Amino acid sequence: MKILANDGISASGKKALEAAGFFVQTEKVDQADLISAINSENYEVVLVRSATTVRKEVIDACPGLKLIGRGGVGMDNIDVQYARDKGLKVVNTPASSSQSVAELVMGKLFSISRFLHDSFKNMETGEFSKLKKAYGKGVELRGKTLGIIGFGRIGQSLASYAIGAGMKVIAVGRNNTTVQVTLPEIPGAGVLQVPVEVTNDMAAVLGQMDYISLHVPKQADGSAVFGAKEFAMMKDGVRIVNAARGGVIDEDALLVALNEGKIAAVGLDVYENEPNPRKDLLNHPKIATTPHIGAATVEAQDRIGEELAELIIGAFGRQN
C-alpha cells in the first residue's frame, strides 16, 4: 500500500510504516497537482498537516483513496464527514501535540507580560537606558487569572502549566462540569491533581480574566469566537493568546481593541490568511507572532508520526 505524506512525517513514523511493508512518499506535491499525483501513483493513503487540503473535489476525483490522516488536532482542512460518508477512513492525532502547544502558549504569556518579543527586536539600537524605561513595566503571571476557552486536551495541558506557575484558571467548555487536571509529577510529592470548574457561560466569566488563551476549532459558520462584543466584556488591559485556529478572533476588531488600549498585548501563532498574514499584525509592537508552530517540536512530531503509523497499521494490517 502506498502512502503520500504530503506535509511530511517524522522519521520514526516513516520507519514504523516501512517496517510494516508500506511505501511512504514524503516529497511535497503542490495542491494543484494533488489529484493527478494520487491517481497516477496509486496512493491509497494521504497524510496532511495544515498546509494541504483534502476537499470534496479531491475525494470525488480519487476513487482509490482509502484513508486520510491529519497529523495534529484540527481537521478543518479536510471535508471529514463527506469523506466518511463516501466510505473513507479519516483519522487524526489529537493527543500527540497537547504538551507542545501548551508550552508555546506559556512562552507567549511570559513574552507578552515582559515585552520579550519587542525588546529583542529593538536591543540592536543600543539605546539601553531608553529601552529599559520602555520595557520596565511588565507584569507577573503568578496570582493572575487565566481564562482557557476550550478545555479539551490542550486546554487541560495548559492549565497544568498555568497552575504550576501560580495562576488561577477559569475554564470555558461545552458543559458545566469539573475536570481533574493532572500536574507534572513532582519528585518526592508524586502526581497531584487539581479540580478545575468548567463553565459553558463564557459571557459570564470574560470580565474576570487577566489573560485568555483560545483552544477552540474554527467555527462551522466561519464566525469569530472573539469580536468587538466579546472584547467589550473583558477587563481593560487583558492579554490574549491564540494558538488554536485563524479566524476564531476577528482581526479587525482585535487591532481596534489593541490600539485603543482595551487589550494590553496579544500572542498569535495562527492567522486568518495563512500562510500570508496581514502585515499590520506581524509588525505591531504589542503582538508576539510565530508562524503556526504550536505542534512543531521534535518530540511532538515523533509522537504524531508514530501515532499515525499505529492508526494506519491498525486499519490495514501489516503489508509484509
- Active site (catalytic) residues: 245, 274, 292
Return the C-alpha cell found at 263.
487589550
| Residue 162 Cα distances to 139, 170, 209, 294, 305, angstroms | 15, 11, 13, 17, 28
Q: What is the DSSP string of 206-237?
A: GGG-SEEEE--PPPTT---SBSHHHHHHSPTT
Q: Which residues contact 98 (CB under 8 A, 6 or more apart)?
A: 153, 154, 156, 157
* Cα–Cα dist 159/161, whole Å: 5
Tell me the CB-side half-sphere exposure of residue 243, using CA atoms within 13 A: 30
Cα angle 120-97-197, degrees, rounded to a multiple of 5: 95
Q: What is the DSSP string of 161-195?
A: HHHHTT-EEEEE-SS-EEEEEEPPPBTTTB--EEE
* Cα–Cα dist 207/238, whole Å: 9
Q: Which residues of 201-212 are buried (b: 16+ CB within 10 A; e: fewer)?
A: ebeebbeebbbb
- Please confirm whether the linkage preceding 275 is cis (ω < 30° from 0): yes
Cα angle 145-151-154, degrees, rounded to a multiple of 5: 95
Three-class SS state of 2 = strand
Return the C-alpha cell found at 305.
508520526
